[in-house]
Chains A and B, each alone.
Chain A
Amino acid sequence: MSSRGPRVGRSIAEKPATAEELARRLHEAAEAGLAVFPVGGGRAAEMGDPPARDGIELRTTALDRVLEHSQADMVVSVEAGITLEALQAELGRSGQFLPIDPFHSPGHTIGGLLAAGWTGPLRLRYGSPRDFLIGIRVALPDGRLASAGGRVVKNVSGYDLMKLHYGALGTLGVIVAASFKVFPKPLQDVTVESTHESLVDAWVAAERALAMPMPPAAVELFSNGRVLARFLGSPDATKRMVADLGWKAVDAAAWDLHSKSAPARWARIAMPRHQLRSIVDNLGADEQWWASPGTGIANWDVAGGADGVRAVRTAAGAAGGSVVLLAGPSEFRHDAGAWGTPPATLHLMRRLRSAFDPNHVINPGRFVV
C-alpha cells in the first residue's frame, strides 16, 4: 500500500566509501527487512510513487571517482556518485564531453541520471544515455556486485543488462559504476532563437528547423512561443544552416539556463514524435510547458491537480505515449499515480524484478514494478 502525506521516513542516511561497502550495507539492510533508498544528487528524489515503507538512505556521493578516462579511446569509466559537472570538467580537458544535458541541473550524479533515465535537448542528436552507456556495475540485495558490458564502444558479449538498469530506478540493483562512449566537442556550436506570438507559428518554425538538410542537435519549443535551436558541426556547414534559417543568434548560456528548469509539479509527456503536438495543444492555453518536437517529449509544469494529469494521460496513452510524473508533492503523486496504466508485459517485468530483488528492498513501491 502506498502511504499518503509526507514522505515515508528515511531514518538513517549512510554514505558508503566503496562499492563493496555499499553492497554490504545493501545486503545487511535486506537481511534486516529494511527498505533501501539509493540517493545520488537527489535531483530526481520525487520521481515515481511515494515509497511503500520506511527504510535507510544509501547515498552514493562518496563514490565520486573517475576510474579511467582513456582519451585516445574516447571511453570513460566512473563511479556512480560523481556529478555530471565533475565528469564534464574531466572530459573537457581533452576536448571531449558526454552529451547529456538533463533538466533540474546542476547536481545530478551519473548513477542517478542512469537510474532515473532523464534526458535533455541534446537527445535529438546524440540519443539518450541508453545509446552510449557501454558498461555498468550494480550492487544486488544479496550483496553481490555484478558487471555487464565493458569498456569498448561496440560489444555484444552477453546480455545487454545496461538497458535493463537504465531507467529502472535502481529496482534491479543499485548502480555503483558505469562506462560510457564519449564524444569529441563539436568543431562549431551555434545557438539561434526565434520568438512567435502564436504557438501555431512556433510549431511551424520548430518543424522548419528540424527539416534543415543538416539536422539541428537540439530544438526546444516553449509554451510562450519561443523556439531555440542548436547546430553542431563543421564551421561552414553550421554557418550555412544558421544563414538559411535566418534566426537570431543567442549565447550558448541559454542552454545552461534552460537546464535549470524544474517545475514543482512536473510531468513528462513522451509521444510518438508526430503525436506530440496534438497532446500538448490540448493542455490548455494557461499551462506552461516546453517540448522537444524532434524527439516527441514535452515537460509539463502542471498547474492543476491529479484529474488534469489523468485526462492528459488517457489521451496520450490512446495515441501510443505516456505521462510520467518526475516531481511533485507526494499527495499529488499518490492521487495522480506516477506512472499510469502499467504495460501489458508487467508480469515479465515482475519476474525480472523478483530475480534480482525478490523482497522489494530497493525503492519499494516507487517504480512501476
Chain B
Amino acid sequence: MPLEKAILEELRRSVGRANVIDSSNDLRIFERDASIEGAVPDAVVLPANTAEVSAVIRVAAKHRIPVVLRGAGTGLSGGAVTIRGGIALQVTRMRRILEIDPIAQTALVEPGVVNQELSLAAASHRLFYAPDPSSQKACTIGGNAAENSGGPHCLYYGVTTNHVLGMEVVFADGSVQWVSGDAPERVGLDLCGVLVGSEGTLCAITKIKVRLLRTPPSVATLLAAFPTIEAASQAVSAVIGAGIVPAALEMMDQVCVGAVEAHYHAGYPTDAGAVLLAEVDGIPESTFELMAAVRSVLAQNQGYAMREAQSPAERDLLWAGRKGAIGALGRIKPNYYLHDGVVPRSKLPQILSAVGEIGTHYKLPVANVFHAGDGNLHPNILFDLRERDVLPQVESAGEEMLRAVVELGGALSGEHGIGLEKSAFMPWVYSADDLDAMRRVKDALDAHGIMNPGKIFPDPERKVPHLAGRTGLAIEAKWW
C-alpha cells in the first residue's frame, strides 16, 4: 500500500528529496534479500547519519508504519524483507569507518561499512576484525550485528556478539542511545548483548564499536580429502576431541567440491566423498605443532591427499573455493535454498545422512558446505525456479532437514537468523513460556511493534505465502 503523500513529504524532509524512493519500479529492487521470499516496500529511505535515522523512525512511529533495516541485502533468512510493507531503511550511505584505534585495538564504524573493508583498513596496523561471513565482500557490519553473524573463523574467535563492544542505536520512539562501550563491565542490564542478534526487531543500529585482534604472525591451512562425508565428520570430532580448537574447520561434500573445482581450479580433489579445510594460527611454533597434530588426527581418521598451502596466494585460493562455494553451485542449478541449523558436533554423521536421504526423497540435489567444527550445517538445496512446481518441494525438504536438526538436539539457526523463514518453526525448540519471555523484551522496547514486524516470532496469520510478491509474479510472467 503506497504511503500517503503527506507521510512521504515528512520522510523527504527528514533525509532529503533524493533519498526517498517511492516509484514502483525502483521499489522492486528492494523486495528481497538473499533468501527466497520477497515483498515490495512502500518506500525506501536512505539516511546519511544518526539524526536522519532517528527522524525517519519518529515519522514511522507517529504513523505506526513498519521500519525494516537493510544493509547489503545479503541476509539469508528474510530479515530485510518488508513482509508487512512499510519503510525499508537502507543504511548503505552510512559507510564510514569513523576510527581505528591501534592502541585500544578497536574500531568505530557506521552500519553500512562492508565487513571486509574493515579488516582491510585495519591491516596496516596488523589488526583484523574476526567475524568473517562468507559474504564478507558485500555484507555490512550493521547487518552482521543485527543478525549476530558468524563465519568460518568463529570456531576459535567467536561470533559477532563476542566482538561488539558497544553500539549507538535508535529505538522505536526515535530516541538515540549508546549501549555499552569500551569498558569491560557496564552498570545495569546488558542491553547491547540482547540488541546484537535481535534482527532489527528492537532497534536500528547506527554506530558500532568493535574489537580488533592482532593478526597472527603465522597461519597454516590444510586441505584433506576423505572417502565419505561420515569419515570427514568423524575426523572433525576427533580433532576437537584431541583438545585442538583450530581457527577454522570447514567441510565440503562431493557435490560442492565438483562445482568449486570447476569454477576456481583450486586443486580440490573431486574424487573425494568430502574435504576438510583446516586452519591454525598463532606464532610459528604453535602453528607447526598444532598443524602436525591436526594432520596426525586426520590421517588416523581416513584423511588422505593432504595438502598444506605453501604461500599466502595458495591459501587465498583454497579459501576462495570455500567462500565462493555457494556461487559456484550456480553451475549445477540456478537457485538454492540454504538452511543453517546447528547440531551437537557428534551428531554430524547422523544429520548429514538424514539430509542426504531427504534430498533423495524429494529428488533434489543437495550440496553441503559448512562450519563443521561448530556443527553448523549449510545444506544447499539446488533447484530451478523455472520448474513450476519445484518450490513447495524445496521448502518441504528444507523444513524436514530442520526438523531432523531439532530432533538431534540442535538449533534452528547458527548464524543466519530466524527472520521470516524460520519463525513458524520456533515452537519446535521453545515452549510458549520461552517465547513469551522473548515477547516481553520485544514489547518492552518496541511497544507498538513497528520494528521489523513479522520476524522471529511465529505469526499465526501467516499462511506460508512462499514466493508471494513480485518475485512470484516474475515467474508467472516468464521474465526469465
A residues neighboring B (CB under 8 Å)? 70-75, 95, 117, 123, 127-128, 130-131, 138, 140, 144-148, 150-164, 166-168, 172-173, 183-187, 213-215, 233-237, 239-241, 268, 270-274, 295-297, 320-322, 324, 339-340, 342-346, 348-349, 351-356, 367-369
Cα of A128 to Cα of B148 in the assembled complex, Å = 18
Cα of A259 to Cα of B35 in the assembled complex, Å = 49
B241 on interface, CB distance cutoff 8 Å: yes
B289 on interface, CB distance cutoff 8 Å: yes
> Within 8 Å CB of B161, what residues of A?
160, 163
Contact indicator B197/A153 (Cβ below 8 Å): no
Q: Is the interface of A mostly helix, strand, loop or mixed?
A: loop
Other-chain residue from B409, B416, B445 in contact with A351 (beta carbon distance below 8 A): B445
> Within 8 Å CB of B440, what residues of A?
352, 355-356
B307 on interface, CB distance cutoff 8 Å: no
Other-chain residue from B177, B240, B438 in contact with A148 (beta carbon distance below 8 A): B438
Other-chain residue from B196, B214, B289, B409 in contact with A160 (beta carbon distance below 8 A): B196
Contact indicator A150/B185 (Cβ below 8 Å): no
Contact indicator A156/B187 (Cβ below 8 Å): no
* Shortest distance from the beta carbon of B79 to any chain A beta carbon, whole Å: 11
Contact indicator A154/B431 (Cβ below 8 Å): no
B464 on interface, CB distance cutoff 8 Å: no
With CB as the reference atom, state the residue of chain A lying closest to B105.
Answer: A273
Other-chain residue from A157, A215, A236, A271 in contact with B411 (beta carbon distance below 8 A): A157
Cα of A214 to Cα of B214 in the assembled complex, Å = 10
Cα of A318 to Cα of B242 in the assembled complex, Å = 47
Known: A146-B437, A155-B413, A296-B183. A237 touches B342 (CB 8 A): no
Cα of A268 to Cα of B183 in the assembled complex, Å = 12
B412 on interface, CB distance cutoff 8 Å: yes
Contact indicator B185/A148 (Cβ below 8 Å): no
Offer 12 A-B interface pairs, CB within 8 angstroms, sorted by A.
Answer: A71-B241, A131-B158, A148-B438, A151-B409, A152-B342, A154-B415, A155-B414, A156-B417, A160-B193, A163-B192, A270-B184, A355-B444
Contact indicator A73/B290 (Cβ below 8 Å): no
Cα of A60 to Cα of B181 in the assembled complex, Å = 33
Contact indicator B185/A297 (Cβ below 8 Å): yes
Other-chain residue from A73, A273, A349 in contact with B189 (beta carbon distance below 8 A): A349
> Within 8 Å CB of A295, what residues of B?
184
* Shortest distance from the beta carbon of A14 to any chain B beta carbon, whole Å: 23
> Within 8 Å CB of B293, what residues of A?
234
Cα of A271 to Cα of B104 in the assembled complex, Å = 12
Contact indicator A348/B344 (Cβ below 8 Å): no
Known: A235-B289, A270-B183, A272-B183. A72 touches B346 (CB 8 A): yes
Contact indicator A343/B342 (Cβ below 8 Å): no
> Within 8 Å CB of B437, what residues of A?
138, 140, 144, 146, 148, 161, 173, 356
Contact indicator A163/B194 (Cβ below 8 Å): yes
Contact indicator A164/B189 (Cβ below 8 Å): yes
Contact indicator A215/B214 (Cβ below 8 Å): yes
Known: A150-B429, A156-B415. A274 touches B103 (CB 8 A): yes
B residues neighboring A (CB under 8 Å)? 103-104, 147-148, 150, 154, 158-159, 161-162, 171, 177-179, 181-194, 196-198, 214, 217, 237, 240-245, 282-283, 285-286, 288-290, 293, 342-346, 371, 374-376, 409-418, 422, 426, 429-431, 433-438, 440-445, 456
> Within 8 Å CB of B198, what residues of A?
159-160
> Within 8 Å CB of A214, what residues of B?
282-283, 285-286
* Shortest distance from the beta carbon of A341 to any chain B beta carbon, whole Å: 8
> Within 8 Å CB of B182, what residues of A?
272-273, 320
> Within 8 Å CB of B409, what residues of A?
151-152
Contact indicator A274/B104 (Cβ below 8 Å): yes
* Shortest distance from the beta carbon of A21 to any chain B beta carbon, whole Å: 17
Cα of A145 to Cα of B240 in the assembled complex, Å = 34
Contact indicator B445/A321 (Cβ below 8 Å): no
> Within 8 Å CB of B444, what residues of A?
348, 351-352, 354-355
* Shortest distance from the beta carbon of B176 to any chain A beta carbon, whole Å: 10
> Within 8 Å CB of A237, what residues of B?
282-283, 285-286, 289
Contact indicator B197/A324 (Cβ below 8 Å): no
Known: A158-B430, A236-B289. A163 touches B188 (CB 8 A): no
Other-chain residue from B181, B190, B290, B342 in contact with A166 (beta carbon distance below 8 A): B190
Cα of A354 to Cα of B161 in the assembled complex, Å = 26
Contact indicator A234/B289 (Cβ below 8 Å): yes
Contact indicator B150/A154 (Cβ below 8 Å): yes
Known: A237-B286, A320-B182, A349-B191. A152 touches B414 (CB 8 A): yes
Q: Which 5 A-B pairs have the closest CB atoms?
A: A163-B193, A184-B243, A237-B286, A270-B185, A272-B182
> Within 8 Å CB of A157, what residues of B?
411-413, 418, 422, 426, 429-430
With CB as the reference atom, state the residue of chain A lying closest to B422.
Answer: A157
Cα of A123 to Cα of B185 in the assembled complex, Å = 12
Cα of A295 to Cα of B456 in the assembled complex, Å = 35
Cα of A145 to Cα of B433 in the assembled complex, Å = 7
Contact indicator B433/A273 (Cβ below 8 Å): no
Beyond contacts A156-B197, A355-B443: 19 other A-B pairs, Cβ-Cβ < 8 A, are A70-B346, A74-B345, A144-B433, A152-B414, A156-B159, A160-B198, A161-B194, A162-B193, A234-B289, A236-B285, A239-B285, A321-B183, A345-B188, A348-B191, A352-B445, A354-B444, A356-B437, A368-B187, A368-B188
Contact indicator A213/B190 (Cβ below 8 Å): no
Contact indicator B436/A348 (Cβ below 8 Å): no
> Within 8 Å CB of B438, what residues of A?
148, 158-159, 161
Contact indicator A155/B411 (Cβ below 8 Å): yes
With CB as the reference atom, state the residue of chain A lying closest to B193.
Answer: A163
Q: Which of A75, A159, A215 has the largest count of B CB atoms less than 10 A from its CB?
A: A159
Contact indicator B288/A236 (Cβ below 8 Å): yes
Cα of A154 to Cα of B240 in the assembled complex, Å = 15
Contact indicator B185/A234 (Cβ below 8 Å): no
Cα of A334 to Cα of B219 in the assembled complex, Å = 53
Cα of A123 to Cα of B162 in the assembled complex, Å = 13
* Shortest distance from the beta carbon of A268 to any chain B beta carbon, whole Å: 7
Contact indicator B283/A150 (Cβ below 8 Å): no
Cα of A349 to Cα of B263 in the assembled complex, Å = 52
Other-chain residue from A128, A167, A233 in contact with B282 (beta carbon distance below 8 A): A233
> Within 8 Å CB of A164, what residues of B?
189-190, 193-194, 441
Q: Which of A145, A272, A340 has the largest count of B CB atoms less than 10 A from its CB?
A: A272
With CB as the reference atom, state the residue of chain B lying closest to A273.
Answer: B104
* Shortest distance from the beta carbon of B206 to any chain A beta carbon, whole Å: 15
Cα of A296 to Cα of B183 in the assembled complex, Å = 7
> Within 8 Å CB of B431, what residues of A?
146-147
Contact indicator B375/A369 (Cβ below 8 Å): no
Cα of A166 to Cα of B159 in the assembled complex, Å = 18
> Within 8 Å CB of A73, what residues of B?
344-346, 375
> Within 8 Å CB of B154, what residues of A?
154
Cα of A150 to Cα of B196 in the assembled complex, Å = 17
Cα of A128 to Cα of B165 in the assembled complex, Å = 13
Contact indicator B159/A154 (Cβ below 8 Å): yes
> Within 8 Å CB of A273, what residues of B?
104, 182, 184
Contact indicator A342/B188 (Cβ below 8 Å): yes
> Within 8 Å CB of A369, what residues of B?
188-189
Known: A322-B185, A348-B177. A156 touches B414 (CB 8 A): yes
Contact indicator A158/B183 (Cβ below 8 Å): no
Other-chain residue from B162, B286, B456 in contact with A236 (beta carbon distance below 8 A): B286
